[in-house]
Amino acid sequence: MIHYKSEEEIELIRQSCLIVSAALARVAEMIRPGVTGLEIDVAAEEVIRDMGAVPGFKGHHGFPATLCISRNECVVHGIPNEIPFEDGDIVSVDCGSIKEEFYGDSAFTFALGDVKDEVLRLLEVTNESLYLGIAQAVDGKRIGDIGFAIQAYCEREHHYGVVRELVGHGVGKNLHEAPEVPNYGRRGSGTKLKEGMVIAIEPMVNLGVRQVMQTNDGWTILTKDRQPSAHYEHTVAIGKEAADILSDHSGIQIAVKNNPNLKEILKKN
């Protein structure tokens, strides 16, 4: 069942999303080679709690941390650990928060130091595809229009692998609500989009094949061929003329630009 939100509820979700965005901006300030996942996890939790919210992922179905931290061939759901990041790593950081009962959710992939050009291009294309999907998130369109836009750009134009097993989702008083939002699909197919719907759009795109596997920890998802994977996410409200992006990557992008240890990820559209 899809839970349609009032304007007031959408604003509450926006506040939670902006808290997530602030936490990710803090991560962008401090992430560099030599820093560990546990260190940025602690910092993100401090930001969330200082802003009057609680981490949205910590304890969710037993997940042990505030952030999902996924390096290189890890697609999503990586658990923070004490292994230092290295020059040349890409690191997807996914974060959630809860304030006044409503969730916020967003993700960003960082490029540390001397990342290969082909991997940087993967990040840029994945980030661009996120906004192509968002452009379809308007009243009267369908879920398949979002997935088609992402898939066509990433697979047909750039020959990357779009993950099928993991998808975007509705957001509200639950972290994962109906409808599911795949990053692949057919135009004009799937659930009709209507004002009042709030969804997380989150392309997960692999440099190599689209197939993935889960590790023995029950959480971490890896690319089957161990090629790098990129992940970007916004929570958006379906609009009449255009989607309302409730999360905000602008502070993250400023912090990336000011962090000499990171490569800036450009967005064409």
Q: Give the separation between CA 6 and CA 46, rounded to whole angstroms.
A: 30
Structure letter (DSSP) for residue 154: I
Domains and CATH numbers, the chain: 7-263 (3.90.230.10)
Give the three-class secondary structure for 2.
coil
d(CA 129, CA 201): 10
pLDDT digits (tens), the chain, 269 positions: 999 999 999 999 999 999 999 999 999 999 999 999 999 999 999 999 999 999 999 999 999 999 999 999 999 999 999 999 999 999 999 999 999 999 999 999 999 999 999 999 999 999 999 999 999 999 999 999 999 999 999 999 999 999 999 999 999 999 999 999 999 999 999 999 999 999 999 999 999 999 999 999 999 999 999 999 999 999 999 999 999 999 999 999 999 999 999 999 876 53
DSSP states of 183-207: S---TT-SSBP-TT-EEEE--EEES
Contacts of 157 (CB under 8 A, 6+ apart): none
End-to-end CA distance of the chain: 33
Which residues, 6+ apart, have CB-to-CB distance to 121 below 8 Å? Answer: 158
Q: For residue 267, what pLDDT is reported?
A: 62
| E runs forming strands in the chain | 54-55, 67-71, 74-76, 90-99, 102-112, 161-162, 168-170, 177-181, 198-201, 204-206, 212-214, 221-223, 229-231, 234-237, 244-245, 262-263
Which residues on adjacent β-strands are paired with residue 96?
Answer: 105
Distance CA 23, CA 19 (A): 6
132 Cα distance to chain centroid: 14
Residue 103 gets which letter from DSSP? Answer: E
Handedness of CA 39, 24, 234, 123 (dihedral sign): negative
Of the candidates 27, 59, 62, the one whose C-alpha atom is nearest the C-alpha of residue 41 is 27
User: Quick one: 6 exposed, middle or buried, by C-beta within 10 A (0-12, 13-18, 19+)?
Assistant: exposed
Judged by DSSP in three states, 39 sits in helix
pLDDT of residue 266: 72
The predicted pLDDT at position 269 comes to 39
